[in-house]
Amino acid sequence: MGKRSRQRQKNQTAGRDSRDNDGWGAGYADIIKENKLFEHYYKELGLVPEGEFDLFMEAMREPLPATIRITGYKSHAKEILHCLKEKYFKDIQELEIDGQKIEAPQPLTWYPDDQAWHTNMSRKIIRKSPLLEKFHQFLVSETESGNISRQEAVSMIPPLLLKIEPHHKILDMCAAPGSKTAQLIEMLHSDMEVPFPEGFVIANDVDNKRCYLLVHQAKRLNSPCIMVVNHDASCIPTLNIDSDGKKDILFYDRILCDVPCSGDGTMRKNIDVWKKWTTSNSLHLHGLQLRIAVRGVEQLAVGGRMVYSTCSLNPIEDEAVIAALLEKSEGALELADGSADLPGLKWMPGVTSWKLMTKEGQWYSDWSEVPSSRHTQIRPTMFPPKDPEKLLGMHLERCMRILPHHQNTGGFFVAVLVKKAPMPWNKKYPKVPLSQTQIFNAKCHSIVCVRSLFSRPPPMKKMKLFGYKEDPFVFLTEDDPVFTTIQSFYNLSPDFPKLNVLTRTHEGKKRHLYMVSKELRNVLLNNSERMKVINTGVKVWSRNSDGEEFGCAFRLAQEGIYTLQPYIHSRIIRVSVEDIKVLLTQENPFLSKLEEDAHSQAKKLGMGSIVLKYIPNPNNPAEPQCPIQLCGWRGKTSIRAFVPRNERFHYLRMLGVEVFRDKQGLGQKRSDGEKEGKQEVDEEDKMEKVAEEEGSAQNEAELDMENGDENGSSVPKSDIGNQETSS
């Protein structure tokens, strides 16, 4: 892939970012929402039903309504939904802002279990209106803690069509900024009782910097089954795995191929597209999109599903790519019928005829009409297949095009491909070394023909690692000395998977310990030379220099507690709702502040890291009906929770405590009338200053992508000495 193509892939991501990372307030100066070429092009193509084009254009000029998705695999998703319905939605539904009556948010009818909602409010109104300040703070806070995702409605469609199951091996080819990746992870963890699903998600992006956006998105979900890698999707390397002692090729059960596109379906939000749109964008991107799709189906397992999607309405980027893929697959691929998979979603069937227009307004209906001077810009694969029977057999009508005016969304295109057999070019050209005679003959018959797009691919270029400075991923052995004290201090189960624990350094003291699933460990160990891994695993322990004197140098990390806790059998304090309120609103309360049961348990434990565990009481529906597990520290006479700020806000809301900052961030309000206002959740800010994070500034900043690490690497001296104070 040349420099131009590579740069184009990096640059042409505005559309995908815009609908995938649905922020709440980036404003634009007033841009005139007119583009005569755009209107002329789409009128001529006839993609919009007759008599609806004016409605289509009106919708394109309207701001996109805000949509949110509740994180599906979290055990407290129902609690979040209850909080939204009973508190925030009721508070805003009678409001009138700038002459616009705010309607009560409604669930997306096609999204399962009322887990996605939309409103007639734009992102700008939510962000700017003082009347919606509480709702805005709720959205921001819950997004940061991973309990909701602010994501455009159409962006939620591809993961649903993949039909993910917990054992699936999944590749997300062009994943940044990561909203759809988060959906895939959630689906893997549909059963929260299983800390390590058999499946995993490998999320890839070509841009190294954008990979860290991806890490930040994925990190909110605290999964041991996600790996972020940095490759050009059109030539992403084939990975090996160990299968029963033999090397095998990794084929994916599910692939999301959400390619870079011109983004004309995002005009409602990405207003810049109005002035930048031209037909040249699609012509430039078609080849890249096809190469990425080809690489995807090559790595798809037989019987697997690949979803191809764009936020472009243009057939050159949509049906043309699918038709070219189907034609060259020679029956190995087929389009799946997804019409019954999302009841309630309105969509238009894919088209079987289209034509092409240059930016100068010249139309071409067939490759034979294209002058040779245009052959580098316009390619045969951009046109519909000529053979009517072959075209009919492709079932392009099974593609789905979502038009903005049908359900007040952005524009989108999606197609589901099922792999029935190995790709023909893989069968025809087995991986055997060529003889000198074969090489000579190939040159005589034009190497260009041999290496055409759908012939045998060229050998993989050796990966250049210049400037690639990620720390290594080093797995621990079962007899590693760090496990000696960890095993006894936390009374780990005999079945604790020690081999799944890794660190990021070969030498010196291990600062943080991470865990991955057994399957991801297999991938990492067998592909260290061919894969650029940016991040993987969930942090479960961090070194605490003060902890050694109490029996263990490693304290628990909140982000990994739900993964780790099933294996821990000591250092656990069972707490009540009132205990949690105390722990999350006071910085360093005395043990005596806990209720009698928790106080009694705490007194029996020595100083050091602890798990604070709340188990719901089904006989008391007024209390949260989901388990809560918090990391904490048992001091000499006090106790504290080590929980990131937004996660504190989340749990307090679930307990009926209203957490709200005024515009200046000066103080918060409590609905239960308690008078600890000055020492409430803002105390987390103080904790963050005390909680020092060890490690190099660059790597840990990139790993954690947070403004300060939520767990800190040392416990405040005031908590272990005689200088303790009570809130």
In-domain check, residue 448: no
Residue 618 lies in a domain: yes
For the segment 17-42, what is each residue's pLDDT rounded down to a tens digit? 555 544 443 344 567 899 999 999 99
Q: Two tokens at 154?
A: 């159409």
Burial class (CB in 10 A: 0-12, 13-18, 19+), 526: middle
What does the pLDDT read at residue 639? 95
Residue 712 in this model has a pLDDT that exceeds 70: no
> In 585-648, which ranges are E strands?
608-614, 628-634, 639-641
Residue 223 lies in a domain: yes
Convert 58-92 to b/e letters by CB count within 10 Å (16 or more is b). Answer: ebbeeebbbbbbbbbbbbbbbbbbebbeebbbeeb
Give CA–CA dist 540/513, Å, rounded. Answer: 6
Q: pLDDT by residue (tens digit) across 239-275?
A: 999 998 899 999 999 999 999 999 999 999 999 999 9
Q: What would the pLDDT profile of 278-316 be if each residue is shown by its tens digit?
A: 999 999 999 999 999 999 999 999 999 999 999 999 999
Of residues 373, 212, 41, 102, the one with CA closest to residue 706: 212
Are 163 and 143 members of one domain?
no
The CB density around residue 538, as the number of other CB atoms within 10 Å, is: 24
Assigned token pair, 426: 């893989």
At residue 610, φ and ψ (nearest 5 deg) are -140, 165
Q: Which residue has the higher pLDDT, 431 or 329?
A: 329
Query: Is 179 annotated to bind ligand?
Result: yes
Residue 662 assigned to a binding site? no
Q: Are residues 233 and 191 in the same domain?
A: yes
In a domain, 262, yes or no: yes
Report residue 16's pLDDT band, with 50, 70 and 90 as the boundaries: low
In whole numbers, what is the pLDDT of the chain averaged over residues? 82
At residue 35, the pLDDT reads 94
Q: Which amino acid is at 149?
A: S
Q: What is the rounded distance in angstroms from the CA atom of residue 580 to the CA atom of residue 652? A: 8
Residues 273 and 331 reside in one and the same domain: yes
Q: The domain containing residue 241 runs over which residues?
A: 153-419
Q: Is 311 annotated in the active site?
A: yes
DSSP-derived secondary structure for 202-266:
EEE-S-HHHHHHHHHHHHTT--TTEEEE---GGGPPPPEEEETTEEEE--EEEEEEE-----GGG
The pairing of strands 501-503 and 363-364 is: unpaired
Contact 579, 497 (CB under 8 A): no
pLDDT of 512 higher than 50: yes
Is 280 a known ligand-binding residue? Answer: no
How far is it, in rounded angstroms, from Cα 15 to Cα 311?
6
d(CA 573, CA 556): 14
Residues whose CB is less than 8 angstroms from the CB of residue 209 and which lie 6 or more positions away in sequence, other chains included? none
Return the closest-CA partner of residue 155 out of 132, 134, 178. 178
Domain identity same for 282 and 414: yes
Q: Is residue 355 within 8 Å of residue 45, measured between CB atoms?
A: yes
Residue closest to 199 by CA, chosen among 126, 277, 254: 254
- Measured distance CA(676)–CA(586) in Å, rounded: 8
Phi, psi of 542 (to 5 degrees): -130, 145
Which range has highest mean pLDDT (15-19, 184-188, 350-354, 583-587)?
350-354
Q: Does residue 172 sit in the same domain as residue 293?
A: yes
Q: Is 342 left (phi over 0), alpha (psi -120 to 50) or beta?
A: beta
672 assigned binding-site residue? no
320 and 382 Cβ atoms separated by less than 8 Å: yes
* Residue 517 neighbours by CB under 8 Å, 6+ apart: 196, 197, 198, 200, 224, 225, 500
Q: Is 191 annotated as a binding residue?
A: no
Last residue of one domain, picked from the residues 124, 150, 176: 150
Q: Is position 178 annotated in a ligand binding site?
A: yes
Which has more pLDDT, 721 or 343?
343
Residue 384: pLDDT band by 50, 70, 90 thresholds?
very high
Report d(CA 473, CA 182) in Å as an integer.
23
Residues 220 and 343 in one domain: yes
Give yes or no for residue 193 having a pLDDT over 80: no
Lowest mean pLDDT among 36-50, 138-152, 309-323, 580-594: 138-152
pLDDT value of position 295 = 97
- Flag whether 176 is marked binding: yes
pLDDT tens for 630-682 read 999 999 999 999 998 888 988 998 888 877 665 444 344 443 333 333 333 33
For residue 128, what pLDDT band results from cuts at 50, 70 and 90? confident
Q: Is 175 annotated as a binding residue?
A: yes
From 211, 261, 311, 631, active-site residue:
311
**Domain annotation covers residue 378:** yes
290 by DSSP, 3-state: which? Answer: helix
In this structure, is residue 358 part of a structural domain?
A: yes
Interval 310-349: pLDDT, tens: 999 999 999 999 999 999 999 999 999 998 999 999 999 9
**214 and 316 in a common domain:** yes
Residue at which a domain ends, from 658, 689, 708: 658
Does one domain contain both 92 and 191? no
Shared domain check, 176 and 138: no
Backbone phi, psi, residue 359, to 5°: -70, -15
Is residue 453 situated within a structural domain?
Answer: no
> Is residue 493 one of the residues assigned to a domain?
no
Between CA 585 and CA 462 the distance in angstroms is 54
Look at 543-552, 583-592, 678-687 and tell me which has the smallest mean pLDDT. Answer: 678-687
pLDDT classification of 444: cutoffs 50, 70, 90: very low
User: Does residue 127 sit in the same domain as residue 246?
Assistant: no
Task: Give 400-445 as a DSSP string.
Answer: EEE-HHHHT---EEEEEEEE-S--HHHHHS-S-PPPHHHHHHHHHT
Q: Are 113 and 164 within one domain?
A: no
Residue 261 is labelled as binding a ligand: no
- Decide which of 213 and 719 is more confident: 213
Q: Is 597 annotated as a binding residue?
A: no
- Ranking 66-80, 173-187, 365-379, 533-547 by mean pLDDT, the lowest is 66-80
> Which region among 122-131, 426-435, 658-667 has the lowest average model confidence (pLDDT)?
426-435
Among the ranges given (15-19, 149-153, 273-277), the one the predictor scored with the smallest mean pLDDT: 15-19
Predicted confidence at residue 10, as pLDDT, reads: 47
Handedness of CA 661, 127, 703, 241 (dihedral sign): positive
Q: Which residues contact 695 (CB under 8 A, 6 or more apart)?
A: 511, 512
User: Structural domain tally of the chain?
Assistant: 3
**pLDDT bucket at 714, cuts 50 / 70 / 90:** very low
CATH of the domain at 391: 3.40.50.150
Question: Domain boundary at 150, 185, 208, which?
Answer: 150
From the number of C-beta atoms within 10 Å of its C-beta (0-12, 13-18, 19+), residue 354 rates as buried
Quick check: 271 and 31 in contact, CB under 8 A?
A: yes
**Per-residue pLDDT tens digits for 446-476:** 333 333 344 444 444 444 443 345 678 899 9
User: Does residue 175 share a domain with residue 146?
Assistant: no
Q: Are the C-beta atoms of 505 and 441 separated by less than 8 Å?
A: no
pLDDT of residue 15: 52
Q: What percent of the chain has pLDDT over 70?
A: 80
E strand or H helix that includes residue 75: none
Query: What per-residue confidence (pLDDT) applies to 71?
Result: 83
Say whether 613 sits in a helix, a strand or coil: strand
